[in-house]
């Protein structure tokens, strides 16, 4: 019973080598793998590089393609052979095929799906059991960096013959009143040996053990007899219910219980409960599963947007791809938590897992932190975006993949809706809604408590019947259509499933500031004025206006929260860009532009879309969203920085983002005027500013009262290196992020520094990656030397297992004293 993390540290070997694919000797026990590398999971072989300038930027110029093998030897007790042993894989990129002791036991296609294979018949008692896994990533199978290998957790699950099926507990809260909530628990028991048995299932609800947070310190699952997620006395217990399993068919049990004075789950108070399910046979405990859930009601309303527990909540969301920047696709709870906390600081309350199911731990984190989630299944159906993408297996696999996503994730209180796809080509086709309806129906069969949605990029989809494919229409980049949609579909809810696609490089400013799309792109960087967008896209302000003028819309999901690996628009020659254009002339023009781009081999390998850069540093836009999403937080932010020795006396416009409604700008103490922000205006702009060194400062007001101030000063020469612990801000985590910058002797930061750094980590930690947020840098992320990029760099350190020793980070840059920080 219970689950165990696979592997034990340092006991998996891997050899990504495309020339070796298909050679089945790797699955044999006597194959000599002593030359193979030992490593820990999760693992992404692509992120190890090297970058190749001539490889496609759309998938990050990294070698994620090809075939990789993993082998793992492990022990099985005689006693375990009386029950079942499964291998649960949370995600393997891609096309995993699995052997156990030389016998083929199964596989999957979709790299983002979680799945299980049964090892039981092939195991023997003792230590010489072997699992071999082959992965294959095809060229032209992704529009972004997909990662490669066993990039999510893998679990060896041991259970009794009679056990709760995988994802076999489904908890819903169909009736919530002020002083009570009805909790319904459906349990699926199985006996895969095909025998007949009569199990008894019993459920109890507990308050969760909050001492087990943060998640970094907790395994997601527990051995049966050890303390798990539950604590204290049960709040309610169900009677034991007999469930008869016949001929190996799964058997269902269904009960409802009432909990008194329920604590509702919400972003401000993400309370959870735990169901403990026990399975008994002949008076013996056979299996025990703990399922976290939350009590809350959700609704989408055509006039009033999204309602949580009966009250309107604006969806202030972002889309996220699955990579962790310099760490690649290899899932890490600390890296994910850092991303989510940063987004919350901005006021973000929702994530769209674009465009595929996320890691299960990501949803655990969203439950815990109070962040809403759109669980999205696909980026395409049978019609391709790339030659070898999911289209190659959609017909045979979509049902399994969709059911797997919904079944796995339906107990998470954070998940508010299922998305059956993003910008699906079939949904441009007059008959496409039928297939859409079928996919929606699959979601409902697995989970009748949630609605479905899709991200439509074709405006007509809101009017030509295609909207019938799902319950809630998601528009990608259509702020101008909310009004017409609402008028013509008065009973259908709508929201911005993908918005803005503004592009910028953190810290880079090119003059003149201009709203023109092609301006502001120099040296493969994009000016950080938040006025530049992809050709099909809008500034954040245009979407804000669309939402403010149409309160029916439930909110937005900005493309994207963080920069991600791949898709470096506007320096991306990926022809799938053309899918964004319905106008044929425009399409042809862009096709020509992309052809030209291809010839130039731009070095760009990661996106410019992020509100936050790849290293995790805020771009200016962070504050534009914070001003809107946290209106009660007194804040002000000025751009650009104030270090322009070459621009003395030159026209240097200034913008201010603030949650205040009035602002006065001062240059070296002289007022440049006070402005009031009118309706539908989201930023303050002073276009007639002429640079002089010193200080630029803003004082803001709200309702006539002083609100927040901000200033930027011209720095002198660098005098020292500044090291700051960027994550975790409190508590412990397996990863520590240290930010590096330079300051002058008065402590003023140098925003343009490019000094080369050399980093050393001593004691209980090891350096695993560095980054500076530069989308064009082709040095390996594992390098211990790197330049500052617009004044900043990040160092990522992993705590070594089994040591409490302190960790010391040392950073050297020429001509400056060495800096040291204990973390």
User: Rounded to the nearest whole angstrom, what is the least distance from the CB of residue 279 to ligand GAL in the complex?
Assistant: 43
User: Rounded to the nearest whole angstrom, what is the least distance from the CB of residue 537 to ligand GAL in the complex?
Assistant: 6
Build a one-symbol-per-residue string for 451-470: x at contacts with ligand GAL by CB under 6 A, - elsewhere.
------x-------------
Q: Residue 339 class from Cβ within 10 Å (0-12 exposed, 13-18 middle, 19+ buried)?
A: buried
Would you say 339 or 422 has its CB closer to ligand GAL?
422
Chosen residue from 44, 165, 423, 613 binding ligand GAL by CB under 6 A: 423
Would you say 85 or 537 has its CB closer to ligand GAL?
537
Q: Which of residues 353-412 bind ligand GAL (CB under 6 A)?
A: 355
Build a one-symbol-per-residue string for 505-544: x at contacts with ligand GAL by CB under 6 A, - elsewhere.
-----------------------------x--x-------
Q: What gap in Å lies between CA 80 and CA 158, rounded to an integer? A: 7
Q: CA 327: distance to chain centroid?
A: 13
Q: What gap in Å lies between CA 643 and CA 417, rounded to an integer? A: 46
Joined together, the tokens standing for residue 9 give: 């540290």
Would you say 355 or 412 has its CB closer to ligand GAL?
355
Q: Residue 597 class from Cβ within 10 Å (0-12 exposed, 13-18 middle, 19+ buried)?
A: buried
On whether the CB atoms of residues 673 and 689 are closer than 8 A, the answer is: no
Would you say 413 or 455 has its CB closer to ligand GAL?
455
710 binds ligand GAL (CB under 6 A): no
User: Rounded to the nearest whole angstrom, what is the least distance from the CB of residue 136 to ligand GAL in the complex?
Assistant: 24
**DSSP character at residue 427:** G
Q: CA 553: distance to chain centroid?
A: 24
User: Rounded to the nearest whole angstrom, what is the least distance from the CB of residue 459 to ligand GAL in the complex?
Assistant: 13
Q: Which of residues 336-355 bind ligand GAL (CB under 6 A)?
A: 355
Q: What gap in Å lies between CA 594 and CA 578, rounded to an integer? A: 9
Would you say 339 or 741 has its CB closer to ligand GAL?
339
Residue closest to ligand GAL, measured at CB: 501
Q: What gap in Å lies between CA 682 and CA 270, rounded to an integer? A: 31
User: Rounded to the nearest whole angstrom, what is the least distance from the CB of residue 571 to ligand GAL in the complex?
Assistant: 13
User: Rounded to the nearest whole angstrom, what is the least distance from the CB of residue 172 to ligand GAL in the complex?
Assistant: 31
Build a one-symbol-per-residue string for 577-596: x at contacts with ligand GAL by CB under 6 A, - elsewhere.
---x----------------
On whether the CB atoms of residues 205 and 275 are closer than 8 A, the answer is: yes
Alpha-carbon distances, residue 156 vs 86, 118, 821 (angstroms):
6, 10, 39
On whether the CB atoms of residues 301 and 493 are closer than 8 A, the answer is: yes
Would you say 470 or 534 has its CB closer to ligand GAL?
534
**DSSP character at residue 336:** H
Q: What gap in Å lies between CA 148 and CA 328, rounded to an integer? A: 9
Closest CA to 316 of 386, 379, 239, 371: 371
Question: Strands of 662-667's sheet, edge to edge?
Answer: 670-676, 662-667, 695-702, 705-713
User: Rounded to the nearest whole angstrom, what is the least distance from the CB of residue 590 to ligand GAL in the complex?
Assistant: 13
Q: What gap in Å lies between CA 563 and CA 318, rounded to an integer? A: 11
Chosen residue from 201, 286, 356, 422 binding ligand GAL by CB under 6 A: 422
Closest CA to 397 of 377, 411, 417, 415: 377
Would you say 457 or 527 has its CB closer to ligand GAL?
457
On whether the CB atoms of residues 197 and 223 are closer than 8 A, the answer is: no
Q: How far apart are the first and last CA of the chain?
A: 38
Question: Number of helices (H) and strands (E), helices first, in the chain?
Answer: 8, 46
Coil, strand or helix at 580: helix
User: Rounded to the nearest whole angstrom, what is the least distance from the CB of residue 352 to ligand GAL in the complex?
Assistant: 10
Chosen residue from 70, 456, 557, 559 binding ligand GAL by CB under 6 A: 559
Would you say 332 or 476 has its CB closer to ligand GAL?
476
User: Rounded to the nearest whole angstrom, what is the least distance from the CB of residue 540 to ligand GAL in the complex?
Assistant: 13
Would you say 93 or 537 has its CB closer to ligand GAL?
537
Q: Helix axis angle, 360-369 relative to 394-409, nearest 10°?
A: 40
Would you say 381 or 559 has its CB closer to ligand GAL?
559
Number of residues binding to ligand GAL, judged by CB under 6 A = 13
In 410-553, which ranges are continuous DSSP H helix?
432-446, 482-488, 540-549
* DSSP assignment of 618-675: B-THHHHHHHHH-TTS--EEEES-S--GGGTTSB--EEEEESSSEEEEEETTEEEEEE
User: Rounded to the nearest whole angstrom, what is the least distance from the CB of residue 112 to ligand GAL in the complex?
Assistant: 14
User: Rounded to the nearest whole angstrom, what is the least distance from the CB of residue 221 to ligand GAL in the complex?
Assistant: 33
Would you say 354 or 655 has its CB closer to ligand GAL?
354
Cis bond upstream, residue 50 (ω within 30): yes
Q: Which of residues 470-499 bind ligand GAL (CB under 6 A)?
A: 476, 498
Q: Considering only the C-alpha atoms of the chain, give the largest distance between any 2 of them, rounded to a whole number of Å.
A: 88
501 binds ligand GAL (CB under 6 A): yes
Would you say 567 or 643 has its CB closer to ligand GAL?
567
On whether the CB atoms of residues 622 and 74 are closer than 8 A, the answer is: no
**What are residue 429's phi and psi, to 5 degrees?**
-90, 140
User: Rounded to the nearest whole angstrom, what is the least distance from the CB of residue 422 to ligand GAL in the complex?
Assistant: 5
Query: Is the torsion defined by CA of 797, 370, 328, 151 positive or negative?
Result: positive
821 binds ligand GAL (CB under 6 A): no
Q: What gap in Å lies between CA 292 and CA 280, rounded to an integer? A: 21
User: What residues are annotated to the active site?
Assistant: 423, 498
Bridge partners, 201 (sequence order): 241, 279
- Contacts to ligand GAL by CB under 6 A: 355, 422-423, 457, 476, 498, 501, 534, 537, 559, 567, 569, 580
């Amino acid at each position: 019973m219970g689950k165990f993390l696979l592997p034990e540290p340092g006991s998996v070997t891997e050899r990504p080598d495309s020339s070796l694919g298909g050679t089945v000797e790797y699955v044999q026990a006597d194959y000599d793998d002593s030359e193979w590398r030992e490593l820990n999971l999760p693992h992404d072989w692509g992120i190890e590089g090297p970058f190749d300038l001539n490889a496609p930027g759309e998938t990050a110029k990294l070698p994620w393609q090809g075939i990789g093998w993993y082998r793992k030897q492990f022990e099985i007790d005689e006693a375990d052979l009386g029950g079942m042993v499964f291998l649960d894989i949370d995600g393997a990129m891609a096309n995993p095929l699995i052997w156990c002791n030389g016998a083929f036991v199964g596989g999957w296609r979709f790299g983002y799906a979680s799945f299980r294979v049964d090892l039981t018949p092939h195991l023997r008692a003792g230590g010489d059991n072997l699992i071999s896994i082959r992965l294959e990533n095809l060229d032209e199978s992704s529009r972004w960096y997909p990662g490669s290998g066993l990039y999510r957790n893998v679990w060896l699950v041991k259970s009794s013959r009679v056990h709760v099926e995988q994802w076999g507990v489904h908890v819903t809260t169909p009736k919530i009143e002020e002083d009570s909530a009805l909790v319904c628990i459906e349990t699926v028991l199985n006996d895969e040996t095909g025998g007949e048995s009569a199990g008894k299932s019993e459920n109890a609800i507990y308050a969760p053990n909050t001492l087990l947070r943060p998640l970094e310190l907790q395994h997601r699952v527990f051995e049966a007899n050890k303390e798990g997620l539950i604590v204290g006395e049960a709040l309610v217990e169900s009677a034991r219910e007999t469930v008869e399993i016949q001929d190996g068919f799964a058997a269902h049990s269904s009960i409802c219980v009432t909990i008194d004075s329920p604590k509702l789950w919400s972003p401000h108070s993400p309370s959870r409960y735990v169901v403990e399910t026990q399975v008994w046979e002949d008076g013996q405990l056979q299996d025990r599963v703990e399922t976290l859930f939350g009590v809350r009601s959700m609704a989408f309303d055509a006039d009033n947007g999204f309602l949580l527990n009966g009250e309107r909540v604006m969806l202030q969301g972002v889309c996220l791809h699955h990579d962790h920047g310099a760490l690649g696709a290899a899932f890490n709870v600390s890296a994910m938590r850092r991303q989510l906390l940063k987004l919350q600081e901005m006021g973000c309350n929702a994530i769209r897992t674009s465009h595929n199911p996320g890691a299960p731990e990501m949803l655990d984190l969203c439950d815990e932190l109070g962040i809403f989630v759109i669980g999205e299944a696909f980026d395409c159906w049978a019609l391709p975006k790339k030659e070898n993408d999911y289209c190659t297996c959609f017909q045979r696999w979509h049902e399994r993949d969709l059911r797997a996503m919904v079944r796995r994730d339906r107990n998470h209180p954070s998940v508010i809706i299922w998305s059956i796809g993003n910008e699906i080509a079939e949904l441009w086709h007059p008959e496409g809604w039928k297939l859409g309806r079928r996919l929606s129906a699959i979601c409902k069969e697995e989970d009748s408590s949630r609605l479905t949605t899709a991200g439509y990029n074709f405006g007509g989809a809101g009017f030509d019947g295609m909207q019938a494919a799902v319950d809630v229409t998601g528009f990608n980049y259509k702020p101008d259509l909310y009004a017409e949609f609402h008028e013509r579909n008065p009973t259908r809810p709508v929201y911005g499933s993908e918005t803005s696609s503004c592009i910028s490089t953190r810290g880079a400013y090119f003059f003149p500031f201009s709203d023109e799309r092609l301006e502001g792109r120099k040296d493969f960087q994009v000016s950080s004025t938040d006025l530049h967008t992809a050709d099909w896209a809008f500034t954040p302000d245009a979407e804000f206006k669309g939402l403010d003028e149409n309160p029916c819309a439930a909110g937005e999901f900005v493309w994207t929260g963080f920069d991600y690996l791949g898709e470096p628009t506007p320096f991306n020659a990926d022809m799938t860009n053309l899918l964004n254009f319905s106008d044929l002339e425009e399409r042809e023009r862009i096709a020509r532009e992309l052809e030209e781009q291809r010839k130039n081999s731009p070095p760009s390998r990661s996106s410019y879309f992020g509100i936050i850069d790849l290293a995790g540093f805020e771009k200016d836009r962070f504050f534009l969203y914070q001003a809107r999403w946290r209106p009660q937080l007194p804040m002000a932010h000025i751009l650009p920085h104030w270090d322009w020795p070459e621009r003395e006396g030159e026209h240097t416009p200034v913008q201010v983002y603030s949650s205040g409604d009035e602002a006065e700008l001062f240059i070296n103490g002289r007022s440049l005027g006070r402005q009031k922000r009118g309706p539908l205006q989201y930023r303050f702009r002073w276009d007639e500013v002429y640079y002089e060194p010193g200080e630029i400062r803003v004082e803001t007001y709200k309702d006539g009262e002083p609100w927040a101030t901000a200033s930027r000063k011209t720095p002198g020469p660098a005098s020292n290196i500044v090291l700051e612990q960027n994550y975790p801000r409190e508590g412990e985590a397996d990863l520590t992020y240290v930010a590096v910058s330079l300051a002058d002797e008065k402590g003023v930061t140098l925003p343009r520094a490019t000094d080369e750094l050399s980093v050393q980590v001593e004691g209980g930690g090891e350096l695993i990656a560095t980054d500076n947020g530069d989308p064009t840098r082709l040095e390996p992320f594992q390098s211990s030397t790197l330049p500052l990029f617009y004044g900043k760099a990040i160092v990522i350190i992993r705590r070594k297992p089994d040591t409490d020793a302190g960790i010391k980070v040392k950073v050297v840059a020429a001509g400056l004293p060495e800096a040291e920080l204990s973390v």
